[in-house]
Amino acid sequence: MTSSNGKPFGSVKNLLKRAEKILKERKKLKQEIRVCAGPGCIALGAKDIHKELCKQLDDHKKELEAAGLELNVTLSEKCTGCHGMCEAGPIVTIEPEGTFYTGVKPRDTKKIVEKTLLKDQLVDPLLYQLGHHRGGGKVKHYADIPFYSLQLRVALRKVGVVDPTNFDDFLAEGGFQAFAKAIAEMTPEDVIDQVEKSGLRGRGGAGFSTGRKWRSALRVKEDRVWLICNGDEGDPGAFMDRAIMEGDPYSVLEGMMIGAYALGATDAWIYVRHEYPLAVEHLQMAIDKLTNAGLLGENILGTGMTLNVRISRGGGAFVCGESSALMRSLEGKVGEPRAKYVRSVEKGLHDEPTVLNNVETFTCVPAIIDKGAEWFASMGREKSKGTKAFSLVGKVKHTGLIEVPMGRTLREIIFDIGGGIIDDRPFKAVQTGGPSGGCLPAGKLNLQVDFDTLADAGAMMGSGGMIVMDDHTCMVDVAKYFINFLIGESCGKCVPCREGLYQLYDLLNKITNGEGKPGDLETIETLCHTMEVASLCALGKSAPYPVTSTIKYFREEYEEHINDGVCRAGVCPKLIVYHINDDCNGCEVCRKHCPTNAITGEKKKLHVIDPDLCISCGICKSVCKFDTIDIMSGGKIVSRDVVA
Amino acid sequence: MSKTKTSKTVHLTIDGQNVEAPKGAMILDVTPGLGVEIPSLCAHPGLEPFGACRLCVVEIQKPGWDDWYKQLVTSCLFQVEEGLKVWTNSDEVRQNRKVVLDLLMARVPASDVIRDLGNQYGVTKTSYAEVDTEDTCIMCDICVRACHAIGRDAIASMSRGPDKYVDVPDKDACIGCLVCANLCPTNAIPFTANDNGKRRIWGKEFDLVTDERSGEVLGTTEYIEHVRKRAEDKGLLCPEDMKHESARVKRYGYAQKLSHVADVEEPIEEVK
Ligand SMILES: Cc1cc2nc3c(=O)[nH]c(=O)nc-3n(C[C@H](O)[C@H](O)[C@H](O)COP(=O)(O)O)c2cc1C
Ligand code: SF4
Ligand code: SF4
Ligand code: FES
């Protein structure tokens, strides 16, 4: 791949010319083979696959040359960002056909080159198995896989498509057309108009209108406006922003450049989560490249625009992703939220006007400028336009990174795209919005997901995490789990959040231990209310959601724990006992494995667990090959592991 | 709140009373003299508002809002504005203060200050799990901010979440001025003001300097040195204190009172 000759472009025209030239060259390409180099696939050996692939292509070329023949087709190979279906990795795709290979190993590359690239034949064992948990048919192209066909990618449009380290590749895929258009044909006012008309709402949590935010910054504009891109992504299990920063850094920057043009900002920060070194590396490469190409720095494309972008590596705590804490952290102070009823567009970083947006938000902007506000607004719902990326995890068959138009139902996301629940167990709940999001029950599966429907249902959009749970999940235990996570993340500045989380955990812990008492639920609800209305920042304000939503939809489970000492999911160790049923054939395996010698019984005779010695570790159940061990709670069998 | 001729004023109501207040002032600052009482633990007139204790919450309504809609805000941080309506003692306000005090009573069961406040809001016994501790620190950060204001930064809040605590990581930075201990709303910082010419705080012992003529205790050696240097460097201690302190420094070569930042009287009550 050629790259620009090192000279800055100097004008919009030169940039566009360059893009045209690359496109022309690309037209000569017959096929392109893409190796997914997202974190999942890298962990599974994607780099070796790529190396081996390059070698295969090289060998092939040499062979032809030795035979005095010319390579009649031009093939190219590249590493891209995450394809989203990490569980099927390492993934290799071939364009333009859209051939989709999964679970690829380095040694498979020879076959891929010889069969698929040179003879147009498929390598059967590498094809994706439809419904592979059930044994469905094989699929040739990713367009035929529901996981992909039901998605609509805007923010992720170039992730998995471009080589994130290659500027020319980005240009070839239509990159910087939007920036060129903005800077050459539009006034800053026009840009803000488009963003506002598109209906784009912030993808980082609160869903504030991006256009309105920008406009209000314009109104207070003083000498300097800071622009900040929030790439802290602290939600455990979320990796949308990571995938974008690692897989398509130029789009993030292009969005920021358009924002900077609209706002007259000359200085920008990208705040990247500490654990994302590859994102930092790719973003820094992109910044350096753009600076050399005259797209960042001073007098950008000869227009007089100045923009310097710097990267800051996050402080580590979840709360550092909160906008005022993030700004404090950028100022070199402790990353604690700032308690001020002053908007950051007026007084943000260094008390100067500041516009802060999320990675996904910025990444949507070039698409909006490119295709128009109407196009973006035509997707989604009345008050939530466009698409949203989600990370789908938990007890769902296809976990991974997805993007859908706003308004898709939870059912479509979980069952059609996600393929349903692992082992086809009953669906119990889905938790949306990160650690402080809410849990929605089966009755809400038809909910059309957008900012407002989720909030109305007691959950939230957050940054787009979705954790799917099956019937083996105890909702009290889930609430306790998230509260425990949040205790570790609360900055501890304000009383309701700091002390409230501590006491919430204590109350929930007692309930799961069978020490709950009547009135606990009311105490919890009273406490949650004060946390919601009186905490200083959104972490404390939303921290009760895992509790309030589970009380709202699964109250009877709390009551059973408190009143009857029953955990119907068979999860809470203090409320369950393990019991061997009559089907036991006396194989002795469980007895040998029990760490506390709670099991007695002779060979070929029924074994018995002494409940006083049993510590509910569950080892016996996991080793019993005959599935004769039941979990009992309140004298009833609560779990016989038969798949529905 | 003194009104100067030039300052712009705004009009608002607080619990139904019409109030004229200077623009930019916080609600909490304009309540003295109105006969309304807003409890607060982390606010101090000499320090930047911080918003940690959430006890000073009030309900507000801005002009143009629906009649039923009110918002709960912390009055130490919310600026007065034209047409604002404020309720300092509504059911919702009292309820949330009650929960905050209930939580604090569980955190610092040994604190009389918190217990008395709790009693005023009808909490006689905490609803939550009491922490087993004699410590009475409520993490209001006043000591940290005060120490910063006098230019020492000896105290810092450490760790986070429920494990947060204050400490003096750099003992050398502490000059034994007692500002922290005197401002602490819950008397959580143990000290000995004067034990035969010695002062002890934060695990450190200081020599006290006494004025030869009056026999008055002037402060620790380190404190006097600090004040002298600060007066030389900047000619001031803190903006409001400037005149007063430089006069003192000129006369005695030291300053004793940091009257604006912290009303440092020699402590009335010693806490162990
Ligand atoms: C505890 C907490 C953590 C947050 N973490 C993030 C984060 O990791 N990334 C992010 O973009 N926004 C995060 N936010 C939301 C930001 O405060 C802010 O609203 C957002 O970045 C604004 O950008 P947007 O308008 O484009 O969404 C967090 C908020 C809270 C309260
Ligand atoms: S709500 Fe929690 S995270 Fe936010 S300021 Fe208060 S203690 Fe810190
Ligand atoms: S020691 Fe006192 S002043 Fe310092 S944080 Fe604790 S309660 Fe506040
Ligand atoms: S006095 Fe306002 S929050 Fe403490």
pLDDT tens digits, B140-176: 999 999 888 888 899 999 998 999 999 999 899 999 9
The confidence score (pLDDT) of residue B265 equals 34
- Residue A134 burial (C-beta neighbours within 10 Å; 0-12, 13-18, 19+): exposed
Q: Is the pLDDT of residue A29 over 90?
A: no
CA distances from A67 to A60, A63, A71 (A): 11, 6, 11
The answer to whether the beta carbons of residues A509 and A476 sit under 8 Å apart is no
pLDDT band at A2 (very low <50, low <70, confident <90, very high): very low
Residues 6+ apart with CB under 8 A from A28: A74
- Residue B18 burial (C-beta neighbours within 10 Å; 0-12, 13-18, 19+): exposed
For residue range A599-613, list pLDDT tens digits in order.
999 999 999 999 889
Residues 6+ apart with CB under 8 A from A397: A133, A418, A419, A420, A421, A422
Q: Spell out which residues of chain A touch residue B166, defining contact as CB-CB under 8 Å.
A: none
- Reduced to 3 states (helix: H, G, I; strand: E, B; else coil), residue A396 is strand
For residue range A37-55, list pLDDT tens digits in order.
988 899 998 999 999 988 8
From the CA of A324, how many Å to the nearest CA of chain B? 14
The confidence score (pLDDT) of residue B269 equals 33
Instruction: Please work out whether the CB of residue A234 comes within 6 Å of at least one atom of ligand 1.
Output: yes
Residues A523-552, mean pLDDT to the nearest whole number = 96
Q: Spell out which residues of chain A touch residue B73, defining contact as CB-CB under 8 Å.
A: 341
Residues A237-260, mean pLDDT to the nearest whole number = 95
Taken in order of first residue, the domains within chain B and their CATH numbers are 9-89 (3.10.20.740), 142-263 (no CATH)
Residue to test with chain B: of A493, A524, A537, most B Cβ within 10 A: A493
Residues A104-125, mean pLDDT to the nearest whole number = 87
Q: Which ligand is nearest to the CA of A337?
A: 2
Q: b/e string for B221-234 if b means 16 or more Cβ within 10 A?
A: ebbbebbeebbeee
Q: Spell out which residues of chain A touch residue B100, defining contact as CB-CB under 8 Å.
A: 495-496, 530, 534
The answer to whether the beta carbons of residues A631 and A624 sit under 8 Å apart is no
Instruction: Please work out whether the CB of residue B188 comes within 6 Å of at least one atom of ligand 3.
Output: yes
Q: Is the pLDDT of residue B200 over 70?
A: yes
Q: How high is the mean pLDDT of chain A?
A: 90
The answer to whether the beta carbons of residues B108 and B114 sit under 8 Å apart is yes
Report d(CA B267, CA A100) in Å as an integer.
Answer: 77
Bridge partners, A231 (sequence order): A272
Between residues A463 and A229, which one has the greater pLDDT?
A229
Residue to test with chain A: of B131, B160, B165, B186, most A Cβ within 10 A: B160
Which DSSP state fits A621? H
pLDDT band at B215 (very low <50, low <70, confident <90, very high): confident
Report d(CA A576, CA A633) in Å as an integer.
Answer: 5
Q: Is the pLDDT of residue A253 over 90?
A: yes
Instruction: List the single residue in B74, B95, B162 with the smallest CB-CB distance to A499.
Output: B162
Report d(CA B119, CA A162) in Å as an integer.
Answer: 65
Q: Is the pLDDT of residue A618 over 90?
A: no
Give the atom of ligand 1 at the shortest distance from the alpha carbon of A206: 19
Where on the phi/psi map is residue A386: left (φ > 0), alpha (ψ -120 to 50), or beta? left
Q: Domain A475-564's class?
A: mainly alpha
Name which of A495, A533, A537, A497 is nearest B95 in CA terms.
Answer: A533
Instruction: Please work out whether the CB of residue B43 comes within 6 Å of at least one atom of ligand 4.
Output: yes
The confidence score (pLDDT) of residue A562 equals 97
Q: Is the pLDDT of residue B267 over 50?
A: no
CA distances from A69 to A57, A73, B91 (A): 15, 12, 89
Q: Is the pLDDT of residue A56 over 60?
A: yes
The answer to whether the beta carbons of residues A465 and A237 sit under 8 Å apart is yes
Q: Is the pLDDT of residue A145 over 90?
A: no
For residue range B1-41, list pLDDT tens digits in order.
444 444 589 999 999 999 999 998 999 999 988 999 999 99
Domain ranges of chain A: 26-142, 167-377, 387-470, 475-564, 576-638
pLDDT band at A644 (very low <50, low <70, confident <90, very high): very low
Q: Which ligand is nearest to the CA of B76?
A: 4
Q: Is the pLDDT of residue B251 over 80?
A: no
Q: Is the pLDDT of residue A391 over 70?
A: yes
For residue range A15-28, list pLDDT tens digits in order.
999 999 999 888 88
Q: Spell out which residues of chain B touch residue A536, defining contact as CB-CB under 8 Å.
A: 51-52, 54, 74
pLDDT band at A5 (very low <50, low <70, confident <90, very high): low
Instruction: Please work out whether the CB of residue B41 comes within 6 Å of at least one atom of ligand 4.
Output: yes
Q: Model-level pTM?
A: 0.88
| CATH 3.10.20.600 applies to domain A387-470 | yes
For residue range A340-379, list pLDDT tens digits in order.
777 788 788 988 899 999 999 999 999 999 999 999 999 9
Q: Spell out which residues of chain B touch residue A500, defining contact as CB-CB under 8 Å.
A: 103
The confidence score (pLDDT) of residue A63 equals 81
The confidence score (pLDDT) of residue B255 equals 36
The C-alpha R_g of chain B, in whole angstroms, comes to 21
Residue type, A317: A
For residue range B39-95, list pLDDT tens digits in order.
999 998 878 889 999 999 999 999 999 989 999 999 999 999 999 999 999 999 999
Q: What is the CATH number of domain A26-142?
A: 3.40.30.10
Mutate which of B76, B104, B114, B144 for ligand 4? The one with the most ligand atoms within 8 Å of its CB, which is B76
For residue range A330-350, list pLDDT tens digits in order.
998 888 888 777 778 878 898
Which DSSP state fits A580? E
- Residue B122 burial (C-beta neighbours within 10 Å; 0-12, 13-18, 19+): exposed
Homologous superfamily of the A167-377 domain (CATH): NADH-ubiquinone oxidoreductase 51kDa subunit (3.40.50.11540)
Of A297-306, A547-556, A631-640, least confident by mean pLDDT is A631-640
Instruction: Please work out whether the CB of residue B193 comes within 6 Å of at least one atom of ligand 4.
Output: no
pLDDT band at A517 (very low <50, low <70, confident <90, very high): very high
* The CATH number fitting domain A576-638, selected from 3.40.720.10, 3.40.1360.10, 3.30.70.20, 3.20.20.140: 3.30.70.20
- Reduced to 3 states (helix: H, G, I; strand: E, B; else coil), residue A27 is helix
The confidence score (pLDDT) of residue B245 equals 41
The confidence score (pLDDT) of residue A616 equals 86
Residues 6+ apart with CB under 8 A from A585: A604, A626, A628
The confidence score (pLDDT) of residue A560 equals 96
Instruction: Please work out whether the CB of residue B184 comes within 6 Å of at least one atom of ligand 3.
Output: yes
The confidence score (pLDDT) of residue B11 equals 95
Between residues A116 and B266, which one has the greater pLDDT?
A116
